[in-house]
């Protein structure tokens, strides 16, 4: 079954449904894009105008379908959900779609006057951007740990393998939901993955050990969603193997943090430096460049990304490693 095979009129059959109005410019795909771990993400499937999610709530697993609706002047999102966690999943949608993401201060003329022209122009063309906030700490943390110190391609390949191997089919998969929609493994399922399966997935012992350490306190991890982003990030970094890069990548997704910067990213500092000064820089240089916009640094980086700027490609590339046959 593909997304196109799923009938549109499922609201009556859904275990929970609602219509959410963002109350301003909105683009569904642009908003949820940062949540995807590539086009092959097992727990998120997309098609034009619609997105499927599968995740586990405190009440149980759920499949969630989001569809853009309404006129451009009054956009809406139709929400349908199936499974034991359907009500919880539907209730989480407004926050996940950026309900609490307030760009008012960023859009003040006085603040815009301090921004580079490329950022101002990118914002003018992208008023629909909202930073999503899922509130699901474990779901964001595990794939981020898998992305530590390896290429994105390698990390996402491992994440797909482990999710299909040890996750669970989403509620209604193959009937009301796409057949290949999967729930991430629960903390208990992650903890039971044997060492040789991590090896098959191309995940080295350092990263798998970090996952294991973190998930032994999964309930405490989930409570971090209720803390301010900076405090949640600081507490994440008390877990050995989780540093500033991982914490920033997590709270960007779980809290919609407008300021967190992924210090230690293989490409980001050079990209920001080239965009703002025409020259590569390191992490310290990137933080100095972004300092005037503290509180909105992630918004600035997002706008640079949407500006169309591409830095010159030079220097060594990371090698994609395949450990599965060793």
Whole-angstrom distance, CA of residue 113 vs CA of residue 318: 38
Q: Is the separation of the CB atoms in 240 and 210 below 8 Å?
A: yes
* 309 within some domain: no
* 42 within some domain: yes
* 26 within some domain: yes
* 40 within some domain: yes
* 7 within some domain: yes
Question: In this predicted structure, what is the pLDDT of residue 13?
Answer: 85
* 89 within some domain: yes
In this prediction the pTM is: 0.90
Burial environment of residue 3 by CB neighbours within 10 A (0 to 12, 13 to 18, 19 or more): middle
Element (H, E) at 245: helix 244-254
CATH number at residue 7: 3.30.310.80
DSSP string, 137-179: HHHHHHHHHHTTTS-HHHHHHHHHHHHHHHSEEPTTBTTTB-T
| C-alpha closest to that of 198 among 141, 140, 142, 136 | 142
Question: In this predicted structure, what is the pLDDT of residue 205?
Answer: 96
- The SS3 assignment for 280 reads coil
Per-residue model confidence as pLDDT tens for the chain (326 residues): 333 334 444 444 899 999 999 999 999 999 999 999 998 999 999 987 789 999 999 999 999 999 999 888 899 999 999 999 999 999 999 999 999 999 999 999 999 999 999 999 999 999 999 999 999 999 999 999 999 999 999 999 999 999 999 999 999 999 999 999 999 999 999 999 999 999 999 999 999 999 999 999 999 999 999 999 999 999 999 999 999 999 999 999 999 999 999 999 989 999 999 999 999 999 999 999 999 999 999 999 999 999 999 877 655 544 444 433 44
The tally of domains found in the chain comes to 1
Q: What DSSP state is assigned to residue 33?
A: G
Which structural domain, as residue segments, surrounds residue 17? 3-100
Whole-angstrom distance, CA of residue 133 vs CA of residue 130: 9
* 139 within some domain: no
* 8 within some domain: yes
């Amino acid at each position: 079954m593909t997304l196109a095979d799923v009938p549109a009129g499922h609201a009556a059959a859904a275990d929970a449904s609602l219509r959410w109005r963002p109350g301003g410019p909105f683009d569904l795909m642009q908003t949820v894009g940062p949540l995807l771990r590539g086009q092959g993400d097992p727990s998120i499937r997309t098609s034009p105008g619609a997105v499927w999610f599968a995740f586990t709530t405190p009440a149980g697993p759920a499949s969630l379908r989001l569809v853009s609706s309404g006129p451009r002047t009054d956009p809406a999102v139709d929400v349908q959900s199936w499974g034991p966690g359907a009500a919880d999943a539907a209730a989480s949608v407004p926050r996940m779609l950026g309900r609490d993401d307030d760009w008012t201060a960023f859009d003040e003329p006085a603040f815009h006057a301090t921004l580079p022209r490329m950022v101002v122009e990118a914002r003018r063309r992208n008023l629909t951007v909202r930073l999503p906030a899922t509130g699901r700490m474990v779901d964001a943390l595990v794939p981020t740990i898998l992305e530590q110190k390896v290429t994105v391609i390698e990390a996402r390949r491992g994440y797909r393998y482990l999710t299909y191997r040890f996750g669970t089919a989403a509620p209604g998969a193959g009937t009301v939901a796409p057949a290949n929609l999967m729930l991430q493994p629960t903390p208990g399922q992650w903890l039971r993955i044997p060492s040789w399966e991590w090896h098959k997935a191309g995940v080295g012992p350092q990263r798998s050990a970090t996952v294991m350490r973190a998930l032994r306190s999964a309930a405490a991890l989930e409570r971090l969603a209720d803390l301010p982003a900076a405090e949640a990030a600081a507490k994440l970094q008390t877990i050995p193997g989780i540093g500033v890069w991982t914490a920033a990548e997590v709270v960007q997704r779980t809290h919609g943090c407008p300021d967190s910067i992924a210090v230690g990213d293989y490409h980001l500092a050079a990209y920001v430096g080239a965009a703002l000064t025409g020259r590569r820089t390191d992490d310290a240089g990137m933080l100095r460049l972004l300092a005037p916009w503290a509180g909105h640094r992630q918004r600035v980086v997002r706008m640079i990304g949407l500006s169309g700027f591409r830095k010159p490609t030079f220097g060594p590339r990371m090698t994609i490693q395949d450990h599965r046959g060793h």
